[in-house]
Structure 1
Amino acid sequence: MAVNPREEDLKRFVAEDPGGPVVMLNLLRFAPDGEASYQEYARRTGPFLKRHGGKVLYAGQGSTALVAEDGQDWDAVLVVQYPSREAFLRMVADPEYHEVTALRTEALSEAVLQATIPWQTSAKASPG
């Protein structure tokens, strides 16, 4: 399973840009003994987030899955906001950032990294 964005995914990410900030959903499944490596990755990427205007909105461990098939639960969830898709791309293209991405790659057995677009009406935002 892929744990890092591929070039064609990044191109689509740019092509579908509606403008404005982007919130990235990260669903993480750790490899055996991968949580410590991911924690180190997270610690070391803090300066890159700050440099490119990103901020962590939420980070937490997965808990009880109420609606999920077997194997669809996740070890951790991370929600990160960037001022734009371009800011995210500048961060992932930063040569210094590339030096720490191996920690993320070795930490994960599976991941989802998905851009989100805010809903425009409150009717869509009702829970459940």
Structure 2
Amino acid sequence: MAVDPQGTDIQRFIEEDTGGPMVMMNLVRFKEGGRASFSEYVNAVLPFIVKAGAQPLYAGDCSTPLVAEPGQTWDAVMLVRYPDRATFMKMVTDPEYQRFNHLRTAALSEAVMQATTPWANSP
């Protein structure tokens, strides 16, 4: 199962950049005992998110899905608004940020990181 972005995913993410703001949606499924490691990761990278000019919008535990196929349930969701994709890439490639990525990888059995772009006239 996917946890970390691969080279082709990153390349496509960069190529599809519209230059405007984006919200990164993170859906995560924890390994047994992984919640503590993920919490440590989030606490460690939050200063990098703020320093990048990004804005955490929401983080919370997932509950009972109303519509989902088997295997489509998640443990937690996070939404972070970034000024643009370049800002996100600069943040995640920072060597200081990279020092903490192992905590995320160790915590998760599966993840979805999906960039979203706002619709016209959306809040």
Give the match for residue 47 of structure 2. 47
CA distance in 2, matches of 1:44, 1:89: 17
Please give the secondary structure, in 2, of the residue aligned with 1:119: coil
1:61-104: per-residue Cα shift (whole Å, max 9, x none)?
00010000112110000001111100000011100111000000
* Distance change in 2, residues 1:112/1:85 (3 Å): same
Number of equivalenced pairs: 122
CA distance in 2, matches of 1:18, 1:49: 20
CA distance in 1, matches of 2:36, 2:76: 13
CA RMSD of aligned residues (A): 1.1
Post-superposition, which runs of at least 4 consecutive aligned residues in structure 1 deviate over 2 A? Answer: none
> Where do 5+ consecutive residues of structure 2 fail to align?
none
CA distance in 1, matches of 2:92, 2:24: 13
CA distance in 2, matches of 1:95, 1:34: 23
Paired AA for residue 5 in structure 2? P
User: TM-score normalised to the size of structure 2?
Assistant: 0.95
Larger Rg: 1
CA distance in 2, matches of 1:5, 1:80: 17
Paired AA for residue 113 in structure 1? M
Paired AA for residue 45 in structure 1? V
98-107 or 11-20, larger mean C-alpha shift: 11-20
Give the match for residue 70 of structure 2. 70
> Where do 5+ consecutive residues of structure 1 fail to align?
123-128
